[in-house]
């Protein structure tokens, strides 16, 4: 049987990596076979594309180029890492997926959802996530959690107005796609983790 595909979304510092790690610990205790991966990256070629996108020297990169690079990394990662794991019945936890492109490039950078959906056609129609966890925390709060971040990272140096737009983008997606579940995560990381585990059980992703 095909494994379940769960993606984690949210603004920078919302706690995606923290929550995936905590969920991984729980799944290990429960003897549930899973794979953790991330976007953009997770495979050699996709990681190389990621380093071009995030390189602080590439400030002149236009929005369309950025979006196409994300789409290229995504389909490579999907074919090389996600698809084989799903086909072998594993639960796949992916740190960011197509909703990041829709929120960041489609909405916040103004390229439009249609353009992003078109260039991500292969990924979107091949493997839809069974569940997307949106970690909902206002960007300013999330940002404060992340001080000391890499100053050469282009995305992190965008400023708060951009991240507010990303947040609004996610809220728009939430209304459009029923597969996205919003989880308020202003409490401790353990409180948020408990909620995520409960949701995974309720949605039939893991046995409860
Ligand atoms: N519930 C929480 N309360 C307080 N701090 C938290 C909480 N969850 C995570 N943090 C801290 O906030 C910071 C950002 O968390 P994390 O790196 O998991 O976010 P992220 O969503 O993965 O960010 P990015 O998109 O940049 O990868 C970390 O220092 C983490 O320890
Ligand atoms: Mg992270």
pLDDT at 130 over 90: yes
Question: Mean pLDDT across the chain, nearest whole number?
Answer: 92
Tokens of residue 155, six digits: 């995305």
Q: Which pLDDT value is given to residue 157?
A: 59
Between the CA of 189 and the centroid of ligand 1 the distance, in Å, is 8
Nearest-atom index, ligand 1, CA of 189 = 1
Which residue's CA is the closest to the ligand 1 atom numbered 5? 145
Between the CA of 113 and the centroid of ligand 2 the distance, in Å, is 24
Cβ pair 129, 149 in contact under 8 A: no
Of the listed ranges 46-50, 122-126, 146-150, 177-181, the least confidently predicted one is 146-150
Handedness of CA 63, 155, 80, 82 (dihedral sign): negative
Listing DSSP states for 31-66 in one string gives T--EEEEESS-SSHHHHHHHHHHH-TT-TT--HHHH
Q: Which one-letter DSSP state was computed for residue 185?
A: -
Q: Is the CB of 21 under 6 A from ligand 1?
A: no
Q: Which pLDDT value is given to residue 153?
A: 58
Q: What is the pLDDT of residues 37-71, one digit of tens each?
A: 998 777 899 999 989 998 999 999 999 999 999 99
Pocket mutation for ligand 1, best pick of 8, 13, 103, 152 (most atoms within 8 Å of C-beta): 13
Of the listed ranges 20-29, 117-126, 150-159, 185-194, the least confidently predicted one is 150-159
pLDDT at 200 over 80: yes
Q: Taking Cα atoms as reference points, which of 181, 203, 74 lies closest to residue 126?
A: 74
Nearest-atom index, ligand 1, CA of 21 = 18
- Mean pLDDT throughout 133-153? 76
Q: Distance (Å, rounded) from C-alpha 103 to C-alpha 107?
A: 5
Q: Is the CB of 193 under 6 A from ligand 1?
A: no
| Domains parsed from the chain with CATH numbers | 5-202 (3.40.50.300)
Q: Distance (Å, rounded) from C-alpha 36 to C-alpha 92?
A: 6
Q: Is the CB of 145 under 6 A from ligand 1?
A: yes
**Burial of 105 (C-beta count, 10 Å sphere; 0-12/13-18/19+):** buried
- The ligand with the least distance to the CA atom of 142 is 1
Give residue for tokens 């966890």: 133
Q: Is the CB of 100 under 6 A from ligand 1?
A: no
Q: Which pLDDT value is given to residue 163?
A: 92
List the shell of residues around ion ligand 2, using CB closer than 5 Å: 16-17
């Amino acid at each position: 049987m095909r494994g379940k595909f769960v993606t984690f979304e949210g603004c920078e510092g919302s706690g995606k990596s923290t929550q995936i790690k905590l969920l991984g610990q729980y799944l290990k205790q429960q003897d549930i076979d899973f794979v953790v991966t991330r976007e953009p990256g997770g495979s050699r070629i996709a990681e190389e594309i990621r380093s071009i996108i995030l390189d602080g020297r590439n400030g002149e990169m236009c929005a369309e180029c950025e979006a196409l690079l994300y789409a290229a990394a995504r389909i490579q990662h999907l074919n090389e890492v996600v698809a084989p794991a799903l086909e072998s019945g594993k639960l796949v936890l992916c740190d960011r997926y197509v909703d990041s492109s829709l929120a960041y490039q489609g909405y916040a950078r103004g390229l439009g959802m249609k353009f992003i959906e078109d260039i991500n056609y292969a990924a979107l129609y091949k493997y839809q996530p069974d569940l997307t966890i949106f970690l909902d925390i206002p960007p300013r709060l999330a940002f404060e959690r992340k001080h000391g971040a890499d100053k050469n990272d282009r995305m992190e140096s965008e400023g708060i107005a951009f991240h507010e737009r990303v947040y609004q983008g996610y809220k728009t997606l939430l209304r459009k796609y029923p597969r996205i579940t919003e989880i308020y995560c202003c409490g401790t990381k353990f409180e948020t983790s408990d909620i995520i585990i409960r949701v995974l059980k309720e949605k039939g992703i893991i046995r409860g």
